[in-house]
Amino acid sequence: MMSDVCKHCVKAGCIEVCPTGAIIRTEFDTVVIQSDVCNGCRACIAGCPFGVIDMNMISGTAQKCTLCYDRMGVGLEPACSKACPTDSIQFGPSASCASARRNAWTSSRRKAKCAPGSTVTTRTARSAA
Ligand code: SF4
Ligand code: SF4
Protein backbone atom coordinates (compact mmCIF):
# COMPACT_ATOMS: atom_id res chain seq x y z
CA MET A 1 0.00 0.00 0.00
CA MET A 2 1.28 3.47 -0.81
CA SER A 3 0.03 6.94 -0.04
CA ASP A 4 0.07 9.18 -3.10
CA VAL A 5 -0.31 12.54 -1.39
CA CYS A 6 2.36 15.18 -0.78
CA LYS A 7 4.86 14.14 1.89
CA HIS A 8 5.84 17.75 2.72
CA CYS A 9 9.44 16.56 2.41
CA VAL A 10 12.23 17.89 4.64
CA LYS A 11 14.37 18.14 1.50
CA ALA A 12 11.70 19.01 -1.05
CA GLY A 13 12.72 18.58 -4.67
CA CYS A 14 9.82 20.74 -5.78
CA ILE A 15 11.11 23.73 -3.80
CA GLU A 16 14.63 23.27 -5.15
CA VAL A 17 13.60 23.34 -8.82
CA CYS A 18 10.94 26.05 -8.77
CA PRO A 19 12.37 29.05 -10.64
CA THR A 20 9.91 31.62 -9.28
CA GLY A 21 9.94 30.83 -5.56
CA ALA A 22 6.26 29.92 -5.78
CA ILE A 23 6.75 26.89 -3.54
CA ILE A 24 7.46 27.75 0.06
CA ARG A 25 7.97 26.06 3.42
CA THR A 26 5.38 27.40 5.79
CA GLU A 27 5.44 28.21 9.49
CA PHE A 28 3.90 24.73 10.02
CA ASP A 29 6.88 23.09 8.25
CA THR A 30 4.62 22.15 5.34
CA VAL A 31 5.24 22.76 1.64
CA VAL A 32 2.74 24.96 -0.20
CA ILE A 33 2.45 26.23 -3.79
CA GLN A 34 1.47 29.89 -4.05
CA SER A 35 -0.63 29.93 -7.21
CA ASP A 36 -0.33 33.70 -7.62
CA VAL A 37 3.47 33.35 -7.96
CA CYS A 38 3.44 30.20 -10.15
CA ASN A 39 4.09 30.71 -13.87
CA GLY A 40 3.00 27.21 -14.87
CA CYS A 41 6.43 26.05 -16.06
CA ARG A 42 5.89 22.51 -14.67
CA ALA A 43 9.45 22.11 -13.39
CA CYS A 44 8.10 21.02 -10.00
CA ILE A 45 6.22 18.13 -11.58
CA ALA A 46 9.53 16.66 -12.69
CA GLY A 47 11.20 17.70 -9.41
CA CYS A 48 8.82 15.73 -7.19
CA PRO A 49 9.89 12.08 -6.87
CA PHE A 50 6.42 11.08 -5.70
CA GLY A 51 4.42 12.40 -8.66
CA VAL A 52 1.98 14.31 -6.50
CA ILE A 53 1.93 17.67 -8.31
CA ASP A 54 -0.55 18.27 -11.12
CA MET A 55 -1.59 21.22 -13.24
CA ASN A 56 -4.83 23.09 -12.67
CA MET A 57 -6.07 23.36 -16.24
CA ILE A 58 -8.27 26.33 -15.44
CA SER A 59 -5.68 28.53 -13.73
CA GLY A 60 -2.70 27.05 -15.60
CA THR A 61 -0.77 26.76 -12.33
CA ALA A 62 0.65 23.82 -10.36
CA GLN A 63 -1.34 22.39 -7.50
CA LYS A 64 -1.10 19.77 -4.77
CA CYS A 65 -2.19 19.08 -1.20
CA THR A 66 -1.52 22.01 1.14
CA LEU A 67 -2.14 19.93 4.28
CA CYS A 68 -5.05 22.34 4.78
CA TYR A 69 -2.90 25.41 5.35
CA ASP A 70 -6.02 27.51 5.95
CA ARG A 71 -7.38 25.11 8.60
CA MET A 72 -4.04 24.83 10.37
CA GLY A 73 -3.91 28.61 10.51
CA VAL A 74 -6.93 28.58 12.81
CA GLY A 75 -5.78 25.60 14.88
CA LEU A 76 -7.75 22.88 13.09
CA GLU A 77 -6.41 19.54 11.89
CA PRO A 78 -6.44 18.78 8.14
CA ALA A 79 -9.87 17.87 6.76
CA CYS A 80 -8.77 14.38 5.65
CA SER A 81 -7.76 13.25 9.14
CA LYS A 82 -10.79 14.94 10.68
CA ALA A 83 -13.19 13.22 8.28
CA CYS A 84 -11.65 9.73 8.13
CA PRO A 85 -14.15 7.43 9.92
CA THR A 86 -11.60 4.73 10.79
CA ASP A 87 -8.73 7.01 11.85
CA SER A 88 -6.63 5.53 9.05
CA ILE A 89 -5.42 9.09 8.52
CA GLN A 90 -3.98 10.63 11.66
CA PHE A 91 -2.46 14.06 12.17
CA GLY A 92 0.15 14.97 14.77
CA PRO A 93 3.75 14.28 15.77
CA SER A 94 4.84 10.99 14.20
CA ALA A 95 5.72 9.43 17.59
CA SER A 96 2.20 9.95 18.97
CA CYS A 97 0.62 8.72 15.71
CA ALA A 98 2.75 5.57 15.83
CA SER A 99 1.72 4.96 19.42
CA ALA A 100 -1.97 5.46 18.55
CA ARG A 101 -1.61 3.00 15.65
CA ARG A 102 -0.05 0.39 17.95
CA ASN A 103 -2.88 0.81 20.48
CA ALA A 104 -5.55 0.56 17.76
CA TRP A 105 -3.93 -2.59 16.37
CA THR A 106 -3.67 -4.24 19.80
CA SER A 107 -7.25 -3.32 20.63
CA SER A 108 -8.61 -4.69 17.33
CA ARG A 109 -6.69 -7.96 17.84
CA ARG A 110 -8.11 -8.32 21.35
CA LYS A 111 -11.67 -7.72 20.12
CA ALA A 112 -11.26 -10.24 17.30
CA LYS A 113 -9.94 -12.89 19.69
CA CYS A 114 -12.75 -12.29 22.23
CA ALA A 115 -15.64 -12.42 19.75
CA PRO A 116 -17.44 -15.81 20.05
CA GLY A 117 -16.54 -18.11 17.18
CA SER A 118 -14.32 -15.48 15.60
CA THR A 119 -11.17 -16.12 13.65
CA VAL A 120 -8.41 -13.62 13.09
CA THR A 121 -7.45 -13.06 9.47
CA THR A 122 -3.92 -11.80 9.28
CA ARG A 123 -2.33 -9.99 6.37
CA THR A 124 -0.14 -13.05 5.77
CA ALA A 125 -3.15 -15.36 5.70
CA ARG A 126 -4.99 -13.10 3.25
CA SER A 127 -2.07 -12.73 0.89
CA ALA A 128 -1.48 -16.49 0.90
CA ALA A 129 -5.12 -17.14 -0.06
S1 SF4 B 1 5.46 17.93 -3.88
FE2 SF4 B 1 6.79 16.12 -3.87
S3 SF4 B 1 8.87 16.89 -3.47
FE4 SF4 B 1 7.43 18.53 -2.94
S5 SF4 B 1 7.12 18.26 -0.74
FE6 SF4 B 1 5.46 17.15 -1.79
S7 SF4 B 1 6.19 15.03 -2.01
FE8 SF4 B 1 7.98 16.32 -1.50
S1 SF4 C 1 4.90 25.17 -12.20
FE2 SF4 C 1 4.80 26.87 -10.71
S3 SF4 C 1 5.25 25.94 -8.73
FE4 SF4 C 1 5.91 24.47 -10.32
S5 SF4 C 1 8.10 24.94 -10.67
FE6 SF4 C 1 6.94 26.15 -12.17
S7 SF4 C 1 6.60 28.14 -11.17
FE8 SF4 C 1 7.22 26.71 -9.54
- 62 or 106, greater pLDDT: 62
CA of 97 to the centre of ligand 1 (A): 21
* Main-chain phi, psi angles of 52, to 5 degrees: -100, -5
Q: Where are the alpha helices (DSSP H) in 7-93?
A: 13-17, 43-47, 69-73, 79-83
Helix or strand (DSSP H, E) at 101: helix 94-114
Ligand closest to 63 (CA) is 2
Which residues are registered as beta bridge partners of 41?
none
CA of 6 to the centre of ligand 1 (A): 5
Residue of 34, 38, 56 to test ligand 2 pocket, by largest number of atoms within 8 Å of CB: 38
Q: Please write the tens of the pLDDT for every residue from 47-93.
A: 999 999 999 999 999 999 999 999 999 999 999 999 999 988 889 88
Atom nearest to 15 CA in ligand 1: 4
Position 1 confidence tier, pLDDT thresholds 50, 70, 90: low
Q: What is the pTM of this model?
A: 0.78
* Whether pLDDT at 127 is above 50: no
Q: Are 17 and 46 in contact, with CB atoms under 8 Å apart? A: yes
* Main-chain phi, psi angles of 14, to 5 degrees: -65, -40
CA of 120 to the centre of ligand 1 (A): 38
Domains along the chain? Answer: 1-76 (3.30.70.20), 77-109 (no CATH)
Q: Which of 33, 37, 74 is nearest to 53 (CA)?
A: 33
* Whether pLDDT at 128 is above 80: no
Query: Which residue ranges have their beta carbon within 6 Å of ligand 2?
Result: 17-18, 20, 22-23, 33, 38-44, 61-62
Report pLDDT for 65.
Answer: 96
